[in-house]
Each structure stands twice: as structure tokens, then as C-alpha cells.
Structure 1
């Protein structure tokens, strides 16, 4: 991957950290880390690895959650939809926080543009097809789109209310976010050293280019400009947002532990967790069909859904399972950054096949 203009933020995006701390209050990310690292690290090493993150998060949530209880009118907007739970779409508040628009005042015209844009991007995320051209101009467009979306009625109602009550919601969000940021800054010293180490590593553009190449699951092609924001709460996650689609400029919210030497290491031969996870991902008839369909070609979600006679949402769920194990890759369209298609990650599938063959061998690795 080639990156043109490169910029890194040396301070946390406090808005984003606040929103993510609430959205991830259940500790699932840390639990998943324990599961994936238990075969390569001792229990003590894992605890040491997560200690600063867990302490920072615990201290923050002890104050932030009671604060949120004082804002019952905006609290429902911190719930997750099905699309957000299975990572088909980024949470709306996360998207807004990534753009750093929650802690500042806006005119009504600015609020209109911000809300329509974030809802439009959310819609495009879950409408993965060749004709991904959703454009919202007002409430009727939003309602028309939601009619055909597989989501609970409560989620649809919440999204509609987010638009209709936007002039009330935004000032309340601003008030809450400003207070919440102060809490995060108060406890930043707990994780500050880890954050600053990540900034130093990310300052070298070559490290980021190498990371994308090794990641294998997302292929962006040439990127004109990238702004990298190191992230604390989402410490092992990469989120890409296109700022200017036409000029191929992106914001990359990058977890502070993403570029650690062992972050991308995976060895089916020596790591039973890696091997088991990959085999489980393939232990489903639909996912096996998808792998066969993608053999030797690239496809859009909508194409696969039509062939399999499933909804795009169901296919997206299966694709996310395969993506988690890096068995498939996402390729961003060279002319339209909002369009993505999928293909087999041949290096991973070959490595998996070799590991399975080895299971029946008489000579095994030490």
C-alpha cells in the first residue's frame, strides 16, 4: 500500500475515547484478548498486557456512567443496533466522535449536514452492493430506507428520533461530552506512556504502510492522504473513514497496541487458538459456499446474497466471521471508496490447509 500525505495526532481524541468507553463498558474486547492470547502468553503476561487499559477504563467508567445517568434523554442513543453489533456499520456516535464534532457548538445548518451525512454513511455501510449510492435529503429519505432494513423497530425509531430531535440532542450531547472529557483527562496518566509509545511508532509512515500490507484483510490501493488518530479504548482495532472520497483521503483510528511486534503474528502450526478459530469459521455450510463462490473472483455482498437467496445482512454476518479469521479480504473500489468487494485471502487459506495436513503427519513441531 502506498500512502501520500501522512499526519498523526499526538493527543487522544477525547470525544472518541469517551464514546467508546461507554459503548464497550461490557469488557468484551478484553475478554476476547484473553481468549486469543492464552496460547501464546501466560496468564500473568496477559494480565500485565491489559493492566493499564483495564485500570484506565475502570476509573473512567466509575465516573462516566453515573454522569450519563443524569442525561436520560441522550442515553438511549448509546445502544447498539444489530448492524453495529456485528460490525457491518460503525456506531453513529463513534462516527461523530471520530470527526470531533460532539464537543463544539453548531448552527442549525451545520447540524443538518452533520446528521444527514452520518446517517447516510451508516446506510451505505449496511447496503453493500454495486449500487451503493444512498443519498438522504430529509426525513422521508431516512424512513424510506429504514423500511427495508433488517433491524428492530426500536432501532429504526431511535434513528428517526436522532434526526427529528437533532437540535435538542446535539446541545445535550455537547454538554455531556465536555464534562466526560474532563474525567478522561483526569485519568490519562494511567495509560499515557503506552499512548506516547504508540505515537512514536506511528510517526513513521513506513510502519503504517507495512501494517496495511501485513493486515491482508483490507486493500485500499493508493491513498492520497491519511490522518492517523491513536486510540486507547479500541486498543486493538482499526477503523477507516473516508474524509474526501474523490481525493481518497482517510482518517485511520488506530488502536495503540495495533503495531506491537506480535499484534499481527498468527501461526496455525503453533497456535491452537488460531487453528481452531479458522476451522470454526469454516464449519458452516453457508460460509463454505461463500468461500467456493469467491474462489478466483471478487464479489459484492449483494451479488452473493442473490445467489445464496439470503438477505445482505445475513451474508454480511457470515463475511464478518470469515474476516475475523482473515480468510477473506476487503478491496475498496479504485474509483468509488464507498464500494467494497470481497475476495479470498489466498495466503491465509493456503497456510490453513498446510496446517490441517500436518495434523495427520507423524512428525510434529516441538
Structure 2
């Protein structure tokens, strides 16, 4: 006797009986329109009638992910982001997060009844992901000068790397953002103290005794928002939302032209105190295009890894900086598609905290 499938939902979808020869198959269900990746899938079984009372349940076929971030694009990110795992498989309900890769799922519940009988029920569905791209534009490969001569930049010239993204939804809509993590960061300084040259450095490779953890990836918390800002059609934005069957950039009807895709840029630089006479930094990054469906969590659909280094010096405080090396990408990877746990990026702290002297003491540079 199959148990009753009380509920199967998540992100606006529902299950229907599986049909063969025009008849429903007992205990077998399907989700006709699929389930968007990143959805929080929920299933529940109940007693089929008073004579069959469920005593034990064993679920299978889902993932072991039970939680991840789901905030709005402009919400403050968590200081430390982890993936919650350990989905319960012995309750009458079963909840898990659908992973980022498109695949077929068969969720099954095996039950034992108080009268000694056994039963089972299955739900089949395909996970659906939007069609997306993330790329460095061909006309902006590498670092490009922005024309800004910012005096707090050690090179005296701000340069940036650019990323463009496109997205097309299918059966299900959802939200999209750019997000960036700092994988590794090292900053070196040189200054005079009591007529003695002092050289120091900080690096994201340790936990600080006061409790700050910098031993790992850092969220690039630009303006304390989850999303990294981008420009689209002349507007500064922090992500976009698409209904089912829609695209970004939004196609324009003649005589108007379709805008360029949303573009994010980053201009790595060091903001240095006036008494510094030397500075160098090396950083590596992961830039993501993230997606979140209705009633779901954020998942990474595309990723580009890149790194940059720069060094500069001057004869004394207040002097003119001489760039020993200009910012240049030492490595820009080909776009990749994160799968499995890699599609749920984690971090241990914020970039803004990393460069704060009180939270991350500098160490002597040999």
C-alpha cells in the first residue's frame, strides 16, 4: 500500500500522478515542468487510511544540502557563509536544496506500517537551470585604464577588469547577481618609524587571536551588499529578476537597439596612509554569476578566476608614486560551470575587515 503523498512543492511547482495507458500508476508521481536549480524541495507523506499508520520512513534520492544563503541582492552578506548539510531522511517530511547542475531526480520514500505492511512512493523530476554566460568582453581583455587618476592608488592610475553576463530563463524565472570572493590576498607596506625603515605585511592565511578568522576566502563586500554592483543600460544595479521565458539583456523592438549585457568591473588598488613609501599587493579572485529561484537559495551558474599584482614606491611621504609594476592580470581563467558543492561559494570574513588594522595586525616582513 503506497503512503499518501501529502505535499510536494518548492518554487511554485507541484507533483502529478504518473500516467501509463491513460491511468495513474499507484505510488508514482512526476513534476511536469521540472524544478529550478537552487529550489528548496519539500516532500511529505501521510497515512493512506486509518488501517495503515506509518511507523518509520526512509527517504532517498535528494541531496544532503539543507540550507544556504537566500538574502536579497542588496542585503548585507553573512560575515561567515557556510553550506548547511545533514538532511534528515527518517521523518515524514523531506526537505533539501536542488543542486546547480541539470539532472534527473527520483525521490523515494519507503515506509513501514504499524500493521506490518510496507509501502513506497516516488516522485520524479528534472532540475532546470537558466541558460547563462559570464565572460570578459573581447574588447576589454585584461586590465583597462579608466581614465581616473586617483591619488590614493599607488600607481596613480586606476585600471579595471570587466565582466559581462547574459541570462535566459525557461520554465521558471528567478533573480541574478554578480558576486565576488577574494581567494588569496597579500599586502606589503614600507614606512619610516623613528628614522628606521619598517616593512610589514598581512595575508589571509590565519585566524587572529581576538577571534577574527581570515584563514580562507573573503567576501568582496562592496558597500556591504551581497551583490557586486554592475551597469546596465546606463543604470547602476545590484542584480535583476526575470520572469519565465525572458532574457537579459532585454531584446528591444525596432527601431530601438538591444542594450549591452550587464557589465561588472573591478579596479584593484591599495589605499595607503600618507607616511607609506612602499606598497605591494597580490590578490586572486573568483567572480560568479549567481541565480536564485522563487522559494530557493543562491547557486553559482558561472565562474571566472583571476588574479592581479602591483608594486610601487616613492622617495618619501607625500612624494610621487613610481609604479614598479602596473596592475595586470597574471591569470584570467576560461569561464567555468561550478558543480556540486562548488556552486555554493563559502567564505570566512569580509574583505573590508581584512584590511582593517585593528582586526588584522600586520606582521614583520623579513
TM-score, length basis structure 2: 0.20
The structure that is strand-richer by fraction is 2
The one of the two structures with greater contact order (alpha-carbon pairs below 8 A, sep at least 6) is 1
Q: TM-score with structure 1 length normalisation?
A: 0.20
Larger radius of gyration: 2
